[in-house]
Amino acid sequence: MTPTIEIVGAGPAGLAAALTTVRGGSRAVVFERQAEVGHRFHGDFQGIENWTTEGDVLEELESMGVTPTFEYTPFHESVFYDPQGREHVCRSAEPLFYLVRRGPDPGTLDQGLKDQALASGVEFRFGEAKNHLPRGGIVVHGPQRVDAIAAGYVFETDCADGAFSAVSDRLAPNGYSYLLVCRGKGTIASCLFNDFHNERTYVERTVEFFWDKTGISMKNSRRFGGYGNLFAPVSARKGRLLYAGEAAGFQDALFGFGMRYALLSGHFAALALLEGSPEEYDSLWRKRLGNLMKLAIVNRAIYERLGDSGYARLVGSIGRADDARDWMKKYYGHGRLKRLLYPLVRRQFSSRADPLDGCIEGCDCTLCRCKLAGGCHLQERGKP
C-alpha cells in the first residue's frame, strides 16, 4: 500500500508539502477547515522575494516540483519614499521580486498551487478540521500570534503598473506602507509593527500619501486586513508532527516577505517524512533558512531602533546602489556581528506580549476584529 502523508492546512506551505509528497511516490491528503484555498486573502498583491540567493526563486521552486502555473509579474524596479517624501528609485538587472495575487480566485498563487496539486493526485478534504494526527504529519495552519498587521484596500485602477513603498512612522510605525499596481488591479496598505489599534489612521494617511505622490485612481475598493508572526523557531518538530509555514514561524521578520520561506519549509517537511526520518526536518530547514531567519530578526530589531532619520539613510543607501538586488542580498545575508547579537535579540522577541491580549472592547481594528472572528483575515466593503 502507498504510504499516506496527512497535511493540515492548504496554504502555500501545505500545498508545497503535498506536491513534494506525491512527487516522491506517496499519497497526500490535505485537510482544510475552510471551503476553499486562499480564504484569508481577497485578491491582494504580495511579493515573492528574489534577493536572498544568487539563483532565481522560480528556478528554486521548479527544482522542488512547484511549477509557477499561477499568474506572476517580475519587477526590476521599485520606488521608495523616505520619511521626508523624497523619491529613491531602486533598480536591478534581475527581478527584485515576483508579484502574485492571493486568494481563491483563478490566477492567484493559492488557486494555481491547488490546481497543480489536484492534477498531481493530491486529495483535498475541504471543510474538515483535523485536530489529531496520531501517525504524525505536517501542520501548516497559519500564524499563531501577532507581531505585525497589514491593512488597506484592494481596488481596480486604470493606472500604469508600478511598485511603491514608503518608510515613515507617521504612515506605519516601525514598518512601511506600499502601493502595488499590476494589470488594472491594485493593493495599497500600511504594514504596522506597532500601535495596531490606530490602523485606520495609518491606512488613511497612506492612501493620502500615495494619492499625492502618484495620483492613483481607486475604483471598487474593498478593505482588507490580516496579521502575522515573526520569530525563528528553535525546532519545528514535535515527534512525528512537523510544523511548516507561519505555524512554525517561518517568516521574514524584517519586511514580511515570507512566502518563499513557507514553500521551502513545506517541501523540507515532506522530504523528511518521505525518508521516514522526521528528525531530519530541523537539519533541512536550518541549513537553508536558519541564518536567513536569524539575521532577519536582528535586522528587524535594528530597524525598529532607527526611527525616521535612520529609515531615510537606509532607503538612500538602496537607491544609490548600482543593483538593488545585490544590495538586498548582502543586507539580508551579511553580518558576523548580527549573528552574535541574535541570542539577545531572540530573547527580547520571545518576551514580547501578544497584542491580542490587550484588545479593546468596541475597537474595530484588524486586530480586534480578527480576535472576535477567530480568524486571521477579514474583509469589508468600503471606500478610502
* Residue 361 domain-assigned (yes or no): no
* Residue 323 domain-assigned (yes or no): no
pLDDT, residue 358, reads 59
CATH at residue 117? 3.50.50.60
| Pair 95, 198 in one domain | no
pLDDT, residue 345, reads 86
| Pair 53, 84 in one domain | yes
Q: Which residue stretches of the chain have pLDDT < 50?
A: 1, 375-384
Say if CB 178 and CB 99 are below 8 A apart. no
SS3 state at 274: helix
* Residue 72 domain-assigned (yes or no): yes
φ and ψ of 75, to 5 deg? -120, 120
pLDDT, residue 197, reads 87
- The whole-angstrom separation of Cα 42 and Cα 164 is 20
Contacts of 169 (CB under 8 A, 6+ apart): 83, 307, 308
pLDDT, residue 360, reads 63
Say if CB 324 and CB 91 are below 8 A apart. yes
Rg (CA), the chain: 20
* Residue 280 domain-assigned (yes or no): yes
Query: How many structural domains compose the chain?
Result: 2
* Three cell numbers, residue 233: 523557531
| Pair 171, 121 in one domain | no
* Residue 32 domain-assigned (yes or no): yes
| Pair 156, 238 in one domain | no
Q: Pick the last residue of a domain from 265, 292, 319.
A: 292
Contacts of 211 (CB under 8 A, 6+ apart): none
Q: Pick the last residue of a domain from 292, 310, 330.
A: 292
* Residue 244 domain-assigned (yes or no): yes
* Residue 235 domain-assigned (yes or no): yes
* Residue 358 domain-assigned (yes or no): no
| Pair 278, 221 in one domain | no
Strand locations in the chain (E): 4-8, 27-32, 45-49, 73-75, 77-81, 87-91, 97-101, 123-126, 137-139, 148-156, 162-166, 176-182, 185-192, 219-228, 237-238, 241-243, 377-381
- The whole-angstrom separation of Cα 287 and Cα 74 is 27
Q: Pick the last residue of a domain from 253, 277, 292.
A: 292
| Pair 161, 236 in one domain | no
pLDDT, residue 175, reads 96
| Pair 124, 238 in one domain | yes
Q: What is the mean pLDDT of the chain?
A: 90
Give the pTM.
0.92
* Three cell numbers, residue 121: 493526485
| Pair 137, 14 in one domain | yes
pLDDT, residue 64, reads 94
pLDDT, residue 384, reads 32
| Pair 205, 248 in one domain | no
| Pair 213, 235 in one domain | no
pLDDT, residue 383, reads 32
Q: Give me the helix-helix angle, 324-333 and 291-320, nearest 10°.
A: 140
In the chain, the N- to C-terminal Cα span, in Å, equals: 56
Say if CB 137 and CB 274 are below 8 A apart. no
DSSP bridge pairs for 99 = 47, 73
pLDDT digits (tens, 9 = 90+) for 63-100: 999 999 999 999 999 999 999 999 999 999 999 999 99
pLDDT, residue 336, reads 76
pLDDT, residue 377, reads 38
Say if CB 207 and CB 133 are below 8 A apart. no
| Pair 81, 202 in one domain | no
pLDDT, residue 325, reads 97
pLDDT digits (tens, 9 = 90+) for 331-375: 988 777 787 888 888 877 776 666 655 566 667 677 676 655 554
- The whole-angstrom separation of Cα 209 and Cα 339 is 37
Instruction: Identify the domain containing residue 9 by its residue range.
Output: 4-145+229-292
Task: Compute the C-alpha angle 333/339/342, nearest 5°.
Answer: 120
| Pair 108, 222 in one domain | no
